[in-house]
Amino acid sequence: MINSELIQIANNLFCIKSIEMDNNTYLLVKNGQCIIIDPSFNFESIDHFLTKKNLKLVGIILTHCHYDHSWAVSALEKKYACPIYAHEFDKSTYLKYDCSQWIQKSVPKIKKINWIHEVDLTISDFNLQIVLTPGHTSGSICVNYNNYLFTGDTLFTNGIGRFDFPNSSFHDLKKSLDFIYKKYPPKTLILPGHGDWNNLKFIRKVL
């Protein structure tokens, strides 16, 4: 069942929106390769996209390990055997606090996650920066690629992430947001885990 919509944001960037919880799956494309940020529930749509465009999946990055961002990882791992990355500080989210109790189902098991720190991460032809931005969860990250910033559930275009989970912290979230506002230029395209995207200048006006 396809319950999603494919949107092209730029020539190297696509989004698959799962309608159910308005989750955004981002697909970065370069030289016939693809990196996915937060597969969400979108296995079928991702699979279709990769096949249709004849792309090689070279990596999956999780902005954090809540089930609505990670559900399709296991199926993609089985089919494409690509590396999966999440921040080491989000192990607690993965192991205990993935929120899957809300739907009374367990997240399909992922065989191997590469637990990473804040790093310049090179995956194939992609040079990315992993920026630890705790608050929504203890190991939430933003992923920077050129002037794109994938913010997961840390920063939305019309608000900030929830901070009422067992491993959330409002204090940390506020620090992370201040860091983003200072570090990234106004033209940076903020690509959140849910809802619309827009540049940082627009978001600062709204928030």
Instruction: Please give the residue ranges that form the binding site for Zn ion (CB under 5 A).
Output: 66, 153
Measured CA to CA, the distance from residue 58 to residue 68 in angstroms comes to 21
Structure letter (DSSP) for residue 77: H
Contacts of 29 by beta carbon, 8 Å cutoff, 6+ apart: 12, 13, 14, 53, 55
CB nearer to Zn ion: give 90 or 153: 153
Helix (H) or strand (E) holding 203: helix 200-206
Minimum Å gap between C-beta 136 and Zn ion is 6
Nearer to Zn ion, 126 or 197 (CB): 197
Question: What are phi and psi for residue 22, nearest 5 degrees?
Answer: 55, 35
Closer of 58 and 113 to Zn ion (Cβ): 113
Cα within 13 Å of Cα(99), Cβ side: 16
Find the shortest distance in angstroms from Cβ 67 to Zn ion: 9
We find the least distance from the C-beta atom of residue 170 to Zn ion, in angstroms, to be 15
- Taking the complex as a whole, the smallest distance from the CB of residue 192 to Zn ion amounts, in Å, to 11
Is the CB of 50 or the CB of 153 nearer to Zn ion? Answer: 153
